[in-house]
Amino acid sequence: MKRRKLLQKYFIPSFIIIFFTCMVVISFVVPVFKSKVEKGRLIIQDIAQLKVIFEKIDTTCYIVDFDLQQNPINFLTIKKGGFVGSELGSMNVALPKKWDGPYLQDNPTIDGKEYMVVRTEKGYFITPGNGVTLPNGKIIGKDIILDKDANIGCMMFEESALSYKKTPLAAHILIRGPRASVRLPAGY
């Protein structure tokens, strides 16, 4: 009889408190883990989409170069005929009349920051923008410096840099560069 009262008095309330404490902890831990997974997937998806768009732009408009070493991607919503000259944001094209935008309804962002095209000694790369915290906890521009000497090609395969679950969080884009030998059609 005494055991039963002790059991009812201490064990059952203790079990209930431990159970609810575990539930509260789980309710905080699962979203944090899930948000890292979702962020990684979103970056991978956005980078892949941007790579396809830039390859299409280079095929039709011939990307000449980019003005800056780190170029925010904030010009893919410009409509066809919605600009003057050959410069869209910081991107220069040889055939501006062939611009077929908008390529997106909204410029993609992560953590409220625009993606960027980074110029290095090894070419151009699409990366998350400065200030973005990657799923591995590293921050672009603070922990991962993307300057002209950065070896982004190698970083794309390092889990401690621009990789998430063995998938790159950046993409190399091939542009044809200056077109000294390109013959432009009449009217361009």
Place of tokens 């998350």: 128
In a domain, 11, yes or no: yes
In a domain, 188, yes or no: no
In a domain, 187, yes or no: no
What integer is the mean pLDDT of 101-130?
96
Q: Locate 77 and state its tokens.
A: 């919503």
In a domain, 186, yes or no: no
Rounded distance between C-alpha atoms, residue 168 and residue 96, angstroms? 31
Total domains in the fold of the chain: 1
Exposure class string for 161-177: b at 16+ Cβ within 10 A, else e: bbbbeeebbbbebebee
pLDDT of residue 16: 72
- What is the DSSP secondary structure assignment for residue 20, as one 8-state letter? H
The answer to whether the CB of 134 falls within 8 A of the CB of 42 is: no
In a domain, 10, yes or no: yes
Q: Which domain holds residue 52?
A: 2-173
Q: Using one digit for the tens of pLDDT, what is the confidence trace for 150-174?
A: 999 999 999 999 999 999 999 999 9
Q: Using one digit for the tens of pLDDT, what is the confidence trace for 27-63?
A: 655 555 546 679 999 999 999 999 999 999 999 999 9
